[in-house]
Structures are given as C-alpha cells and as structure tokens.
Amino acid sequence: MHDDDSPRRERTPTEQDRKFTRAVLEYVIYRHPTHLRVGELILEITAGREEEFEISDATDRAIRDLTAAGLLHCPNAIVMPTNAALCFAELSEEDRD
C-alpha cells in the first residue's frame, strides 16, 4: 500500500532522459504535419525557462536517440516523425478510447 507521507523516490538521470525523450516524441507527433527545425523545437520546448541549456542538451539527446531508434527523421535539421511513430501513436490513441 502506498503511503502519501512517504518521500518520493528521486528519478535517476536515465529515467529522466527516458521521460523527456518520450515527451519530445509526443510533442513532435502532436505538431505533425508541421516540420520544425531543431532550433525551433528547442525554443518551443524551453519556452524561456531558466534551465534552457539543460533542456536544449536533453532535446539534442532525445532527437539523436529517437532518430537512431527509427522514430524520427532529421534531414537538414528538420525534425519529423517517421511513419512507424505516427502509426504507433494512432494505435495508442485507439487503445485509450
């Protein structure tokens, strides 16, 4: 049973990166069919927050990892979801209904 007074466990850097990577993919899919340049994506994600460098760095890692996994295309620094990512997102939406 979960005790509401118990301290929350801190996320590890790996867990934080995975959560942020998931958020980047969801955002790129949400903005589809708009194709954002990497710099525009970072600006939209950071939205003027103080930790802009950390978010920018995390965004670059997320784009790299998602591209390597075949979920994003990034030709000429333009970020767009692959057909596989769009198909999975569509299937996931159907599961929520």
Domains: count for the chain: 1
Structure tokens at 42: 């970072």
How does pLDDT run along the chain (97 residues), one tens digit per residue?
A: 455 555 667 789 889 899 999 999 999 999 999 989 998 998 888 876 767 788 888 999 999 999 999 999 999 999 999 999 999 999 988 766 5
Assess if residue 78 is contained within a domain: yes
pLDDT value of position 1: 46
pLDDT value of position 43: 87
Full domain range(s) for residue 75:
14-96
Domain CATH for 73: 1.10.10.10
Beta bridge partners of 81: 72
Strands lying side by side in the sheet with 36-37: 36-37, 78-81, 72-73
> Between helices 52-68 and 38-46, what is the axis angle to 10°?
130
Assess if residue 80 is contained within a domain: yes
Structure tokens at 70: 């075949």
pLDDT value of position 4: 57
